[in-house]
């Protein structure tokens, strides 16, 4: 069965906080994939190992994590805010009274500590992107988008 939530812990104001990330619906997930592939596809070649035959093999997820901030930096201010809002609306903070959405449907912060904490917000955005794009391209992951250096296209 497909995972629809993921728990992560990050430190905010010297206190560890737990967050639940939920999968996006198909429309939002497809839009996110469009943006990610447009901006990150050129970076994938730098993060992908190649077999002896020149075929893309494994994507180094740690390398992607290093390159993703640069890809997101190429977004304009409006597009960056739209992506951040879209991502943060899928994140919920575990509070004593239950789950509290980080950003509501109007784009307003519901967790005051995060409103002026861009580092924590970007960390959550990266986690959402990774969670929502994992498995999107099947067994080969994001490497299935890269051209086969041996002349034929990888199977999908």
Residue 152 belongs to a domain: no
Residues whose CB is less than 8 angstroms from the CB of residue 14 and which lie 6 or more positions away in sequence, other chains included: none
Q: How many domains does the chain have?
A: 1
Residue 75 belongs to a domain: yes
Q: Is the pLDDT of residue 153 over 80?
A: no
Q: Is the pLDDT of residue 140 over 50?
A: no
Residue 69 belongs to a domain: yes
Residue 28 belongs to a domain: yes
**1: confidence class by pLDDT, cuts 50, 70, 90:** low
Residue 85 belongs to a domain: yes
User: 56-60, 112-116, 118-122, 124-128: which range is least confident on average?
Assistant: 56-60
Residue 67 belongs to a domain: yes
Q: What is the mean pLDDT of residues 5-31?
A: 92
Q: Is the pLDDT of residue 99 over 80?
A: yes
Residue 91 belongs to a domain: yes
Mean pLDDT, rounded, of the chain: 77
Q: Which residue range is the domain that position 45 belongs to?
A: 5-145
**Global confidence as pTM:** 0.71
Residue 153 belongs to a domain: no
User: 11-25, 30-44, 63-77: which range is least confident on average?
Assistant: 63-77
């Amino acid at each position: 069965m497909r995972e629809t939530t993921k728990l992560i812990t990050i430190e905010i104001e010297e206190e560890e906080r737990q967050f639940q990330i939920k999968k996006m619906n198909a429309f939002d997930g497809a839009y996110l994939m469009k943006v990610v592939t447009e901006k990150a596809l050129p970076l994938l070649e730098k993060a992908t190992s190649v077999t002896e035959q020149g075929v893309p093999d494994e994507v180094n997820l740690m390398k992607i994590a290093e390159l993703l901030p640069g890809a997101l930096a190429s977004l304009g201010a409006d597009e960056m805010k739209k992506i951040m809002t879209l991502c943060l609306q899928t994140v919920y903070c575990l509070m004593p009274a239950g789950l509290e959405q980080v950003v509501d449907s109007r784009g307003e912060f519901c967790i005051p500590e995060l409103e002026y904490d861009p580092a924590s917000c970007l960390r959550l955005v990266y986690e959402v992107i990774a969670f929502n794009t994992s498995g999107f391209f099947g067994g080969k992951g994001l490497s299935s988008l890269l051209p086969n250096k041996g002349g034929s296209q990888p199977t999908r």
